[in-house]
Amino acid sequence: MTRLKKGEHWATINPDQLAHEQKLYELEKDDFALKIDALKDAEIENLLSIEKSLNGITQKIDSLTNALTIPDLSKEVKDRISFGIEKLKKQQLRLRKKIDSETYLKETALQKRELELSLDHKKRSLQDLKHRSELKAEFSGDLELLLPSEKISELETQKVIWLKANHAYARIVDRSSLTATLTPPSSILYELDPKRISLQIPFGTQGRIARASFEAQKIENIPHKQGVQWLFKLSEDTPSSITNTLDTPMLANLFYELNKPAHIVPKRELISTAPDTLRKEGWHGLIKKIWPETKIVTIGPQSIAIQVIK
C-alpha cells in the first residue's frame, strides 16, 4: 500500500512502447532542426544567387551601353545592342521585384510551416499516448494492488509485468471520506426528503455499527439498472476496520428523521383491520377509519408515522 497525492503518476501501461515513441520523437526533433538549418542555408544561397545575377546583368548593361558610344556603328548594330539592353533591363527589373516581394522568403516560410505542423502532429500523438499510458491518481488516497504476491515481487524489482485486459488490478481508496451507496429499495422512499435519511451499517462480529448521513443523489444512465442512487457519508469516527469491506454489498438499517413527534405503527398490523378500505382509499383512508382523530405524518416502506390531532 502506498499513499498517493492527487495527480501522482503510479503506473505505466506498456512502458516499452512509450519509451520507443519518445525516442522516435526526439529523432524527429533533431531531423527538424537539421531541415530548418538547410532551409536557412538555401534561403541565403538563393539571395546570393539573385544578387550575383543582378550584378552580372548590370555589368552587361554597362558594357552594351558603352558599346553604343563606339563611332561608325551601323544602325542595325545599334538597334540590336539597344534591344539587348532593354531585354537585360526587364530581366533586372524582374529579379529586383522578386527580392522586393520576398517571394523566396515566402516559399521558405511555407516549407518551414509544413515541417512545424508535421513535428507538432507527432508531438500531440506522443502526448496522447503518454496520457493513455501513464496512470495518475484522480484524488489523494491509498493505492492497493489487487495482484498475486509473485506479481508484486516482480514489480518491486522494476520488472514489467503482463496482465490480462478488463480486470481490476489496483484501486485508490480515500479513507478520509468513506461513502456508502444505496439504491432506494422502495418507490415510497422517493417521496421522502433524502436529506432527513440516515444509515446504520452493522459490520464485523462484535456488533459494531457504522453511521452515515445523506450527502448527495446521483443519476445512473445504465441500461437495465436502477437510475437513482443515494450517497451517504460515513461519520469520521467510523472504525478503520470497515475498509476491509470496501465495494462489498452490505445490509443497512435506514432511518428517517421526522420533523415532529409521532407514533410509529407497523403496516403489517393494519392491513388485516379493514382491507376493503385500504384497497379503495389507501393508507390515509384506513388510518382515518381506525383513528379518526389522527393524521399521517409520513408513510414509510414498513411503517406509518401518525400524529394525534389536537
Among the residue ranges 58-62, 100-104, 251-255, 294-298, the one predicted with the least confidence is: 100-104
**What nine digits make up the cell of 143?**
493505492
What's the distance, CA 132 to chain centroid?
10
Cα separation, 109 vs 112, in Å, equals 5
Query: Is pLDDT above 70 for 226?
Result: no
Mean pLDDT computed over 138-161 = 85
Instruction: Please indicate, yes or no, whether the overall pTM of this predicted structure exceeds 0.75.
Output: no
Classify the phi-psi angles of 158: left when phi > 0, otherwise alpha if psi is within -120 to 50, otherwise beta: left
- Cα 244 to Cα 42, 83, 203, 213, 225, distances in angstroms: 70, 101, 10, 20, 26
Among the residue ranges 144-148, 184-188, 197-201, the one predicted with the least confidence is: 184-188
Residue 153: the pLDDT is 85
Query: Is pLDDT above 80 for 130?
Result: yes
Cα separation, 283 vs 299, in Å, equals 8
**In this predicted model, which residue has the larger pLDDT, 39 or 268?**
268
Q: What is the pairing mode between strands 170-173 and 228-234?
A: unpaired
Among the residue ranges 8-12, 66-70, 110-114, 195-199, the one predicted with the least confidence is: 66-70
C-beta atoms surrounding 77 within 10 Å: 13
